[in-house]
Chain A
Amino acid sequence: SQQGEEDPQALSIQEGENATMNCSYKTSINNLQWYRQNSGRGLVHLILIRSNEREKHSGRLRVTLDTSKKSSSLLITASRAADTASYFCATDAGDSNYKLTFGKGTLLTVNP
């Protein structure tokens, strides 16, 4: 079964609005990463948050991590049409320092 699962599966918003995607996982982790995928091709790394961190920012991105709830959220503020993509969270299992397990992703559509 998936270590990380994103919610919602799909999200459609208007340009300028904020988009929030959630990721839940099952076992303890060392790190959690968020990636973006355009058009079913290669993934692009967005941000990494470590298990001892609660929040990180990068430009218009804000990631939170709640290890007690085994969940993370990705917030994209002031969304743009170019943000349209699938977003995946990737987690390691606590006993693995190399293997990332990806969820099925959230398909975000930002309408102009």
Chain B
Amino acid sequence: GAGVSQSPSNKVTEKGKDVELRCDPISGHTALYWYRQSLGQGLEFLIYFQGNSAPDKSGLPSDRFSAERTGGSVSTLTIQRTQQEDSAVYLCASSLVLGSRETQYFGPGTRLLVL
């Protein structure tokens, strides 16, 4: 079946604009994760969903970041009033169930550039 997909693949925006990043997980996967990867760096955990619920939002860098998941499927990560330091690759992953023992399947990422 299809893997995790993300859109757009690339996004260039101006400082101060809002952006929405979309993630389509693998069908049937109940857990979904968002990460951010800056150039040459590791992955920074942002948020996870179990179903539609996100119990822990502490990884979001600021209150300009928000995420939601509807119908236990598609998730959107919204960044309001973008700043240049938000430039990074945003990666989404899903797993069958929640847990660190689970394999996370990653999408190709959205490369965000804030000018």
CB-based contact B4/A42 at 8 Å: yes
What is the count of residue pairs linking A and B with beta-carbon distances less than 8 angstroms?
Answer: 65
Q: List 24 A-B contacts (CB under 8 A).
A: A30-B100, A30-B101, A33-B103, A41-B108, A41-B109, A42-B4, A42-B106, A42-B108, A42-B109, A43-B43, A43-B91, A43-B93, A45-B105, A50-B101, A88-B43, A97-B98, A97-B101, A98-B100, A99-B45, A99-B59, A100-B100, A100-B104, A102-B45, A105-B42
A2 at the interface (CB under 8 A from B): yes
- The verdict on B31 contacting chain A, using a C-beta distance below 8 Å, is yes
A45 to B3: give the CA distance in the assembly, Å: 13
Residue of A with least CB distance to B43:
A102
Q: Which of A33, A98, A105 contacts B48 (CB 8 A)?
A: A98
The answer to the question of B41 belonging to the interface, with a C-beta cut-off of 8 Å to chain A, is yes
Q: B35 to chain A: closest CB distance in Å?
A: 8
Contacts A48-B101, A92-B100, A97-B99: A2 and B42 contacting too (C-beta < 8 A)?
yes
The answer to whether B42 touches A42 (Cβ under 8 A) is no
**Count of A residues near B, CB < 8 Å?**
26
- Chain A residues proximal to chain B, CB less than 8 Å: 2, 30-31, 33, 35, 40-45, 48, 50, 88, 90, 92, 96-105
Query: In chain A, what residue has the closest Cβ to B98?
Result: A98
